[in-house]
Amino acid sequence: MKRLQGQTALITGASSGLGQGIALAMAREGAQICINYSHSQEGAEETLQEIESFGGKAMIVQADVSKQPAVKAMFQKTIQTFGTVDILVSNAGIQKDASFLDMSLEDWQKVLDINLTGQFLCAQEAAREFMRRGIVKERSQAAGKIICMSSVHDIIPWAGHINYATTKGGVLMFMKTLAQELSPYKIRVNALSPGAIKTRINESVWKDEHERKQLLKLIPYQRIGEPEDIGKAAVWLASDESDYVQGQTIYVDGGMTLYPGFVDNG
C-alpha cells in the first residue's frame, strides 16, 4: 500500500524546485496532485508529464497565491476534478533581496504577500474543505494535513534578506497557532524548514565554485540538499506515519541550524 494512496495533494509553486520535487514524491506514493503555478506553465507541464510517465494522476491550476479570488477558484477546480483536497503543501515563496536601507516598500510588501498572506489564504481554504469533509478512515486518520514551507531562516537571522526572514519567522508562529486552533478537528499542521537546497532560488550560489565552497562551510553534513530530500520529508509529514506530529517544524538542513561556526570552539 502506497503511503498517500487515493489522497489529493494541492501543492503551490509546483512548477519548479522544491514544489516540483514534493509533487513527484507524493505522486509516487499514490496521491493525485494539483500542480499550482503562477507564471511558468512550461514548468507545470514538466511536472505533469513526469507524474504521468510513471502512471500518476495530476492536474494544473494557475493561481497567484496572494490573491483570494484566485486561491478560492484553485480549490474549487481541484475539488471539482478530484472530489476533495486531503493535503495542502503551501510551498510558493520568493526572495527579493536588498540591504535594509535600500529595500523598497514594494519589495517588502511583495514578499510578505506571497510568502505569508499566501499561506493564510491557502490554509483557510484547505481547512474549510477538511472540516466540511471530515475524516475518511480508508485514506487517513486525520481530516487533513497542512505543510507550510518555511526555511532555516525562521530561526537564523539573515542580513540583506529582511523581508524573506521576516516571512519565514512569521510562518513559524502561523503554523503553530493554526495547529493549536485546528487540532480539535483532527487537522494536522506542520512546517518544513529546508537549509540550502539546489533550486533556481539560489542557483547563483551553487553554480559558482567560490560561493559553493563558502556555503559548504555552513553545512556540517557537507553537501547541498536536493529537492528529493524535501520530497521525502514532505511525504512522511503528510502520511499517517507522522499522525502524532502536530505543530512542529522539521529542519531538513544537513545541520545548518547547529551553529557550525562553533565547531572549533567558537
Per-residue contact string for residues 101-130; x = within reach of ligand NAD by CB under 6 A: -------------x----------------
Per-residue contact string for residues 178-197; x = within reach of ligand NAD by CB under 6 A: ----------------x-xx
Show contacts with ligand NAD in window 221-260 (CB under 6 A): none
> For 26-116, where are the E strands, in sequence order?
32-37, 58-62, 87-90
123 is written with which cell numbers? 490554509
Distance of closest approach, residue 137 Cβ to ligand NAD, in angstroms: 32
Show contacts with ligand NAD in window 138-157 (CB under 6 A): 149, 151
Distance of closest approach, residue 5 Cβ to ligand NAD, in angstroms: 26
Distance of closest approach, residue 96 Cβ to ligand NAD, in angstroms: 11
Is 65 a binder of ligand NAD (CB under 6 A)?
A: yes
d(CA 109, CA 104) in angstroms, rounded, equals 9
Is 56 a binder of ligand NAD (CB under 6 A)?
A: no
**Site for ligand NAD (CB under 6 A): how many residues?**
29
For residue 207, give every residue at least 6 positions away whose Cβ sits within 8 Å of its Cβ, in sequence order, or none.
none
Helices 118-133 and 68-82 sit at what angle, rounded to 10 degrees? 40
Distance of closest approach, residue 172 Cβ to ligand NAD, in angstroms: 12
d(CA 48, CA 60) in angstroms, rounded, equals 7
Q: Report how far apart, in Å, the C-alpha atoms of 215 and of each of 167, 199, 220, 260, 262 are.
A: 22, 14, 10, 11, 16
Lateral strand order in the sheet of 87-90: 58-62, 32-37, 8-11, 87-90, 144-149, 187-194, 249-252
Q: Is 221 a catalytic residue?
A: no
Nearer to ligand NAD, 203 or 243 (CB): 203
Q: Judged by CB under 6 A, which of 32, 47, 78, 91 binds ligand NAD? A: 91
Distance of closest approach, residue 78 Cβ to ligand NAD, in angstroms: 14
Is 58 a binder of ligand NAD (CB under 6 A)?
A: no
Q: What are phi and psi of 80, to 5 degrees?
A: -60, -40
255 is written with which cell numbers? 545541520
Catalytic residues: 164
